[in-house]
Structure 1
Amino acid sequence: MEQRGNKTIVCAIFFLDIVEYSKKSVTGQISLKERFNAFLSIAIRDVPVADRIILDTGDGAAISFLGDIEDALQAALSVRSSLLGEGVRMEPPLLVRMGINLGPVRLVKDINGLPNIVGDGINVAQRVMGFADPGQILVSRSYFDAVSRLSHEYAGMFHYQGARTDKHVREHEVYAIGYPGDLTSTHRGVVLKAEVEDSTGMHRIIVQAKRHWFAFAHQVANMERYAVARFAKATWAQRATFIAVTGIVLVGLGTGIYRLSHSPEDKQDVVSAASKTEPVMPAVAVGPKPVEVKSEKVAPPPEKKIQGIKQSARTRTLEETTGGPAIVGLSILPWGEVYLDGKIQGVSPPLLELQVVPGKHTLEIRNTTFPVYKEVIQVKAGVKIKIRHRFK
């Protein structure tokens, strides 16, 4: 990093912002920032420290990737995946806007002597991020041109959103990974799924119908946006052909409907049929009285008894015979990756509890900034223990 000091370079800048962060209470801001930092740390943990510069903006962060420009895209996708995987009942909800730009920046030293970046590259990244909706990733034209040529897979991920004008009357062509509202739609689907599992009877049927309707509407919206995007990329000749074919189809449908509804033969048939018909009294059928059938109660067959085996009053569940699983409660500050017997279980918070098999286990809690916390626990069936740890 020292060798790159005071140099102007071109790199990818990933800018993030927590939506309505300043409107939250102090407790809410702390909760949002801890979860935000945890997701961001996971997203960039595979990027070498020498290839990134992180700036804390208070309500977000700006990361300059001095190595591969793909690192910015992978980090953005990781953050969005973490946001989608977070529990929808977490309060306050963590909504993040994200923007990526490829542009020139100058490496300088800040007041503390630490590496910092300034320049048009980070300014444009912030402008692009400002155009995004909550949960959406927008990239600039320069970044799209560079990363889309690395592979066809990358090129197919982006959707052109048009030109946007910032407060300095400067236009920016932006591309989106996904569409506005995708995060909201996903959250709505998760909420409805959880509501279906918790409901019964008619309420369950209503919630299921609502869930399927939202899924159908979301798919229709995606197809509409895809068609609009393809139409925007088409040539003038292709657009003219599409409009002409659509017009012919609509005219044909309208003509067919008009002819069917205004057929003269149908009118004559209706008039003649109305004049010839006479009112007919309904016939009443007379027959013998129905015979009443008396139902007799049928005694259930005698219960078979197996000789040599004592019949229990009811079947015992697995939880009754084993005592149930052991519960390990977690209280980790500020955050940590939880490993049980060498296997990752998730990030706490939001992970608060683990159900484990009774017995002896090795619990590890890892944080990229602090030493690993390791503890051997002995848990019993049906018993809950609490693990508390604060990284310092």
Structure 2
Amino acid sequence: MADEQKTNLRLDIGHVLFIDIVGYSKLLLKQQSELLRELNEIVSGTSEFREAESAGKLIRLPTGDGMALVFRTNPEAPAQCAVEIARALKSHPAIQLRMGIHSGPVNEIVDVNQRANIAGAGINMAQRVMDCGDAGHILLSKHVAEDLEQDDRWRPLLHDLGTCEVKHGVRVGVTNLYSDEVGNPQLPKKFQALQKRRSRVRWAKVGVALGDCRCLHLRFTQTDSLGTKRCRKKPRRPSFRKSERRKSQRLLHRGRAGPNPDQPRADR
């Protein structure tokens, strides 16, 4: 029985498009319902959505302020769907979306309503990638970007952003998908903040290095009798006025002490 269960286990890979409505929680309930209705119409009107759904290769997962689409067709399906959605949004300026794409393991589950649903690391990572972006961004995980850049159609649209720290301190490689027509070419705010932190750390290291160089210079330019490197103040020369004053004081002191017996007198 155990061997039979093991043979039935399989690893399913889903190509996930995670969609989020920016500023959704700040809207009134009526506005939220209206935006979700418009978004559902836009998404279901894309060719990738219709083809995958008609083939039984698509699972929709509502998320409250958006949705997750899991394609089981090909790795470029979520990216193509995201591009179609971005084009359609030009006639719906009130809807501000950010989207994240990742391919990873997923598994079907049965929810509390006894309906088929889906979960897994592939969906979670797609959401983490999306969280790195702002309104208008279409962000891809490094894994997906490496697959798409093998196609000349996608390569000009892919712009590497580096790594971003997400939930639980996990760092993921992120790529920004944009062109003159779709996407957001601006650097996401999370990456802007990361650049500022790195710049501060870099300048702090430069300051420490300069301080160490100055100390080394002082140590090797001055020594004491034991050969130990030390910093000493150079003795100051007495001014002309001080030296004249001291000379006058010595002459006055000699006059008070009386004539010198060894000195010859003028009357002798």
CA distance in 2, matches of 1:83, 1:96: 9
| Aligned counterpart for 2:16 among listed residues 13, 16, 19 | 13
Q: Secondary structure at the match of 2:23?
A: coil
User: Whole-Å Cα distance in 2 between the matches of residues 147 and 11 of structure 1?
Assistant: 15
For the residues of structure 2 that align with 1:34 and 1:163, how far apart are their CA atoms?
Answer: 34
Q: What is the aligned counterpart of 1:82 among 88, 109, 131?
A: 88
Query: Aligned partners of 2:24, 2:120: CA distance in 1, in Å?
Result: 25
CA, structure 1 residues 53+9, in 2 after alignment: closer, same or farther (shift >3 Å)? same
In structure 1, the partner of 2:59 is 53
Residue equivalent to 1:284: none
The answer as to whether partners of 1:11 and 1:105 remain within 8 angstroms in 2 is yes
1:252-274 deviation per Cα after TM superposition (whole angstroms, max 9, x unaligned):
xxxxxxxxxxxxxxxxxxxxxxx
CA distance in 1, matches of 2:111, 2:9: 11
Q: Give TM-score, length-normalised by structure 1.
A: 0.42
1:147: how far off? 2.2
Does 1:22 pair with 2:28? no
Distance (whole Å) between structure 1 residues aligned to residue 63 and residue 10 of structure 2 = 23
Residues 292-350 of structure 1 show CA distances to partners (whole Å, capped at 9, x for unaligned) of xxxxxxxxxxxxxxxxxxxxxxxxxxxxxxxxxxxxxxxxxxxxxxxxxxxxxxxxxxx
- The 5 A counterparts of 1:1-392 are 7-43=10-46, 44-49=49-54, 50-86=56-92, 88=93, 93-149=94-150, 151-178=151-178
User: Rg bigger for which structure?
Assistant: 2
Match of 1:254 in 2: none
Separation of aligned partners in 2, 1:125 and 1:52: 16
Structure 2 unmatched ranges of 5 or more: 1-7, 188-268
Name the CA shift for 1:146/1:76 in 2 (closer, same or farther; >3 Å): same
Equivalent residues of 2:100, 2:138 under 8 A apart: yes
Separation in structure 1 between the aligned mates of residue 106 and residue 126 of structure 2, nearest angstrom = 11
Deviation string 1:263-294 (CA, Å, 9 cap, x unpaired) is: xxxxxxxxxxxxxxxxxxxxxxxxxxxxxxxx
- Give the % identical residues: 31
For the aligned residues, what is the CA RMSD?
A: 2.5
Count of residue correspondences: 176
Secondary structure at the counterpart of residue 77 of structure 2:
helix
Partner secondary structure for residue 152 of structure 1:
coil
Partner of 2:260: none
User: Any gaps of 5 or more consecutive residues in structure 1?
Assistant: 186-217, 222-392
Contact 1:54 1:64 in 2 (8 A): yes
Structure (1/2) with the larger helix percentage: 2
**Take 1:71 and 1:133, find their aligned partners in 2: how far apart are those partners?**
22
> Where has structure 1 moved over 6 Å in runs of 4 or more?
182-185
Which of 43-52 and 8-17 deviates more?
A: 43-52
Structure 1 residue 184: deviation in Å? Answer: 7.8
From the superposition, tell whether residues 6 and 38 of structure 1 become closer, same or farther in structure 2 (CA, over 3 Å). Answer: farther
Where does residue 325 of structure 1 map in the other structure? none
Deviation at residue 124 of structure 1 after TM alignment: 0.4
